[in-house]
């Protein structure tokens, strides 16, 4: 049982960055407007995520750590139109199987909260305590009981870098949520949560990026795009600067990359790849997010139409700028 849990955990949790991704997404799903992520030693020895969301009901605390327990899908049909970021109910059980987890949570309407400790899948304590409303997860000593996995981790600084990348993506995907990232007691990122995507671009990519972007805002009957793309002269050497969110989820999609890149083709650019931060909303029944556990891929059903829509939108925006 324990071994099965540890193996299953490896599918969802392969490094500290995946813990951060899952817990940040849970905070956002819990309607948090402010989330703080703190890490030490690349997140391996210590990782704390505090949110001001709706908290976990006392009776749901223990079940939340059971495999495939989720509060987010109530009907099989929901799978087609998932609006929450999480839906598999695997993250908490997976994290608890391979780390020492401390959870403090209180729902706004409750007088007391709960402090719950679970290590290597075994409950250590459950106490009612006074707590701020919202949820705090402290994850200590990731993979302390799976030496083979721990050995596989990179240097602390590299792991911290992976976490930083995840936090940046989530900050860009949720301009409505204030996100703070602290690494070894130093503040690395703060977003205000005031929906100002350009300001987040400034914070993450710097002043030049914020100055050399064009705003995009278009919608059709089945999709909508908002965000920023770089002017052709602000091209980049690789696809790392193409950031796409579909229905609020960070995804990698060669279809979308190609649609964007093709729009830039008429402009001679220093580098091959444009800078882009695009939020694409696609009608729920036209996509399938249930492709891979990491959920970074999606299946788009009307590929040609979406390709055309994105390509056309960018082409127009670039042309408009020329004239
Ligand atoms: P999923 O996100 O797929 O539902 P998880 O294992 O990530 O599964 O979380 C299990 C459940 O724990 C969630 O469905 C949710 O009810 C609860 N939960 C987890 N994190 C939070 C949080 N930060 N605030 C409120 N509830 C949470
Ligand atoms: Mg989740």
Residues 186 and 317 in one domain: no
Kindly state whether residue 197 falls inside one of the protein's structural domains. Answer: no
pLDDT digits (tens, 9 = 90+) for 204-227: 999 999 999 999 999 999 999 999
- Is residue 146 scored above 90 in pLDDT? yes
Kindly state whether residue 247 falls inside one of the protein's structural domains. Answer: yes
Residues 246 and 125 in one domain: no
The whole-model pTM stands at: 0.91
CATH code assigned at 65: 3.30.565.10
Kindly state whether residue 239 falls inside one of the protein's structural domains. Answer: yes
Residue 137 pairs with which residues in a beta bridge? 49, 103
pLDDT digits (tens, 9 = 90+) for 256-312: 999 999 999 999 888 989 999 999 999 888 887 666 656 677 888 889 999 999 999
Boundary-marking domain end, from 190, 215, 235: 190
Nearest atom (ligand 1) to Cα of 91? 6
Q: Tell me how long the chain is.
A: 323
Distance 26 CA to ligand 2 centre (A): 5
Kindly state whether residue 90 falls inside one of the protein's structural domains. Answer: yes
Residue 243 pairs with which residues in a beta bridge? 277
Which of 22, 85, 86 best tests ligand 1's pocket when mutated (most atoms within 8 Å of CB)?
86
- Is residue 87 scored above 70 in pLDDT? no
The tokens for 49 are 């995520």
Kindly state whether residue 132 falls inside one of the protein's structural domains. Answer: yes
Residues 117 and 241 in one domain: no
Spatial CB neighbours of 49, under 8 Å, sequence gap ≥ 6? 20, 23, 24, 27, 35, 36, 37, 38, 136, 137
Residues 155 and 24 in one domain: yes
Spatial CB neighbours of 7, under 8 Å, sequence gap ≥ 6? none
Distance 25 CA to ligand 2 centre (A): 6
CATH code assigned at 251: 3.30.230.10
Kindly state whether residue 123 falls inside one of the protein's structural domains. Answer: yes
Residues 87 and 216 in one domain: no
- Number of domains observed in the structure of the chain: 2
Residue whose Cα lies nearest atom 25 of ligand 1: it is 55
- Closest ligand to C-alpha of residue 89 is 1
Residues 41 and 113 in one domain: yes
Whether the CB-CB separation of 64 and 56 falls below 8 Å is answered with yes
Boundary-marking domain end, from 163, 190, 217: 190
Whether the CB-CB separation of 315 and 283 falls below 8 Å is answered with no
Question: What is the residue range of 124's domain?
Answer: 2-190
How many CB atoms are closer than 10 A to CB 78? 13
Distance 84 CA to ligand 2 centre (A): 9
Kindly state whether residue 196 falls inside one of the protein's structural domains. Answer: no
Kindly state whether residue 200 falls inside one of the protein's structural domains. Answer: no
Task: Identify the pLDDT of residue 288.
Answer: 77
């Amino acid at each position: 049982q324990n071994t099965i849990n540890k193996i299953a955990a490896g599918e969802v949790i392969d490094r500290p960055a995946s813990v951060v991704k899952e817990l940040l997404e849970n905070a956002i799903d819990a309607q948090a407007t402010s989330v703080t992520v703190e890490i030490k030693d690349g997140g391996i020895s210590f990782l704390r995520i505090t949110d001001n969301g709706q908290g976990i009901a006392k009776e749901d605390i223990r079940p939340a750590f059971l495999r495939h327990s989720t509060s987010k899908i109530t009907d099989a049909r929901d799978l087609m139109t998932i609006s929450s970021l999480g839906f598999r109910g695997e993250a908490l059980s997976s994290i608890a199987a391979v780390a020492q987890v401390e959870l403090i949570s209180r729902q706004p309407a409750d007088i007391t909260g709960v402090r719950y400790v679970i290590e290597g899948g075994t409950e250590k304590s459950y106490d009612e305590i006074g707590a701020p409303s919202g949820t705090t997860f402290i994850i200590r000593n990731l993979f302390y009981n799976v030496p083979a996995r721990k050995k596989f981790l990179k240097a602390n600084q590299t792991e911290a870098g992976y976490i930083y990348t995840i936090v940046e993506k989530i900050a860009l995907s949720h301009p409505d949520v204030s996100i703070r990232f602290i690494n070894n007691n130093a503040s690395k990122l703060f977003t205000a949560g005031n929906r100002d995507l350009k300001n987040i671009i400034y914070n993450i990519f710097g002043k030049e990026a914020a100055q050399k972007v064009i705003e995009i805002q278009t919608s059709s009957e089945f999709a909508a795009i908002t965000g920023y793309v770089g002017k052709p002269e602000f091209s980049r050497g690789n696809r790392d600067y193409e950031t796409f969110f579909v229905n609020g989820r960070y995804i990698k999609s060669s279809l979308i990359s190609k649609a964007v890149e093709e729009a830039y083709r008429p402009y001679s650019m220093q580098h091959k790849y444009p800078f882009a931060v695009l939020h694409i909303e696609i009608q729920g029944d036209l996509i399938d997010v249930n492709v891979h556990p990491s959920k970074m891929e999606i299946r788009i059903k009307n590929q040609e139409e979406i390709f055309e829509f994105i390509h056309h939108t960018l082409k127009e925006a670039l042309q408009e700028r020329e004239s």
